[in-house]
Every structure is written in C-alpha cells, then in structure tokens.
Structure 1
Amino acid sequence: MQPISEELLQRAAQGDETALAALIARMMPVIRKGAWSAQAPGLDFDDAVQEGLIGLFGAVRGYDPSRGVPFAAYAANCIVNAQRDAHRAATRKKHAPLNDSVPLPEDQAAPGPEELAIASENRTDVLAQIDTLLSPLERAALLASLDGLSPTQTAKVLDRAPRAVENALARARRKLRAAR
C-alpha cells in the first residue's frame, strides 16, 4: 500500500472527490481482504466491501493526526471494525429466517382472471378432443398415465396386456399431437 500524504487526506476530508477516489484506491486492498473474511449468510462479498467503504469514510471524518497514529493504520482498523460489525449483525439469530429462506421467483406472477379464463377454455377444448379423437382404451390409458400409473399398472386395472396399453398410449399421444 502506498503511503497517504497529509495533503491528500485533507483534500478528501474537505470533500474533494478525486482525492477521495485516490484514497479509496489506495485502501482498496485492505477493504477487499477484510471483505473476504467478513462474508457470511446474509452478507456477501460486495456488501462487505460496501461496509468497508463506510468504515473508510468514517476514518476520513474522524482522523485526528495529533494522536500520532498513521492514517493508514487508523483507516485499516476502522474498515475492519465496520466489516466485523456487519458480519456480527448478519449472523445474529434474528436474521436466520431470512438467511435460510429460499427466494420466490419474481417472474412467476399469479395468473389474472383473463389467463384463468383462457386456461379453462383450453382445458375444455383438450378434454373435448380427448373424448372425440380417442378410443375408450386410448382415453383410459392416457388418463391413467396422467394419474401416474405405469403401463403395467394400467394393464392390470384395465385387464389388458401391457403391450396393448403401451400401444394405445402411443396412439393417443400421436393423435393429440396431430390435432394441435
């Protein structure tokens, strides 16, 4: 880390953005190193870097050169303390439900009345096609398959050969695909 001049520190404290950017660039290795060790559920690397930057800003405002401590050491201590506090806050038991929860997908909104009406019409159309296009065996094999029964289980229920049920299911699928 390069030494930090008194002039750069004063300019940064007065609000000079270029001086503050230079100060951040010089302290970034300390911030990133602390961020790696501060990571926890609820506190990812980027959040820990932000906490380190907040600690650096506090160090710029609160630094007193008359105490005889170099700014780099004081700032490093402020950065590490800010990241440690954030880590401690993120790992509190009161945050456990948030840290352990699974986010809901944002792109799956509940269907509106229009979508429900369209889906109902489509379902009615499909059921009508099943009734008109399929033979009784094909219909029974398809409905049993939709209920989760295997062809062998369906064959026992319908008192048919398993191969006959498999063929009927294949014919039903082929007819419904062609009807689309």
Structure 2
Amino acid sequence: MLRFGFGDSEGALETGSVHSGARFGYMQEEEVVDLAKCGHQGATEFLISRFRPLVENKARAYFVMGADREDVIQEGMIGLYKAIRDFRSDRLNRFRPFAELCVTRQIITAVKTATRQKHVPLNGYVSLNRPCHAETADSTLMDVLPSVAGGDPVAELLGGRLPKHIDETVTNALSDLERQVLACYLDGLSYREMSSRLDCHPKSIDNALQRVKRKIGTLLKE
C-alpha cells in the first residue's frame, strides 16, 4: 500500500487498513479529503492510491530531458499532496478537478523552476499534451499558462488566501532545514528566495530539497 505519511497504525481505523479502504470507497472523495486533512493516515493513503493513476497519466504528457519518468511522477504526487492540504469543501464542490489542477501546475512549475535554475535532471521539457501554436518559435505551453509563482491554485480559484500548514506525518521524518525548505517549496518560492529567507547557500537548498523528494518517493513505494 502506498504510504504518504509516517508511523505504524496512527489514524488507521480499528477495522484495519483493508476494511478502511473499503469504507473509504463508499464515501464521497471530498469526505475522505476532510478526514485526511484532520490527520487520518488511512484516508491519506486511500487518496494517494486512488489518484496515483491520474498523476501517472499527467506525467506521461511531459518528456523531461535528463530525468526518468519517476522524477516527474514524484513532482505530481507533491501536487496531489498540496491539493489534499489546501482543499476546502466549504468553498469547492468537487475535489477531483482541483487535484488535477494542482498536479498539472506542480509539474509545470517544477520544470520552469528547474529550467530557470539550470538544475539537472529537470533542466528542460517537451510537452506532449497540448502543443502551443504561437507566433514565435520560443513560445511554449508553460509560457501561456498563468504563473503560479505569486500564489497557490486555491488563491487563484477563490480569490482569497487560505491558511497553510504542512502535515505533521510528513515533517516528522525531516530535519529542521528540510522542513523549512519543503515549506518554502510548497509556497512556490524560487531557490534564490529560499536562500534569502533561510540564509543558506542555494546549493544547500537544492541538496535539502532533493533529500525531501527522495524521502517522499521512498514512502510512496512502501
């Protein structure tokens, strides 16, 4: 079973993970998201498992030079985590379209950031999803999509700023620096902005972020 959190049985239903998954299957996705936001590990695992095919499908739409497909999938899973974290059932009726938006934006933003920072392996990409027939040869799909550098998808959709937090089950396994870097990354900060905020060399920021991604990637495979 995919695990996006830490710990053994905390938050699991008394009937066990198998029966928990069956129970979640009869619930509305929005109800499961609300449970996950309250720290229910079983609900989070169920959502990660259910939406991973969507993430993999989105990842197939991008060819990233110098990276394997799993790198792109991990970026998409981070987008899914952000969707679970930021979804507000009192503001939006359905979770799935919001999750799809967050996953797509996360992949595109990661590619743009990596291209700007000239980091490998995410140092360039070709979109196979929607070719952009712009007048100039340099124009790409990511150029015509709204930038997310100044805010998160929730703010764009709702026109307001929502409180943000990072799930304790994820941060428990991270060092202080890794937690701070992850928080900045989820807020859409560039490497330069992270370096200024945390008073760290950009290389230290990059190393910490790569460690965070490896840890999350390992958890998703467990």
Bin for the TM-score computed over the shorter chain: 0.3 to 0.5
The structure whose Rg is larger is 1
State the TM-score, normalizing by the size of structure 2: 0.39
Select the structure that is richer in helix. 1
State the TM-score, normalizing by the size of structure 1: 0.47
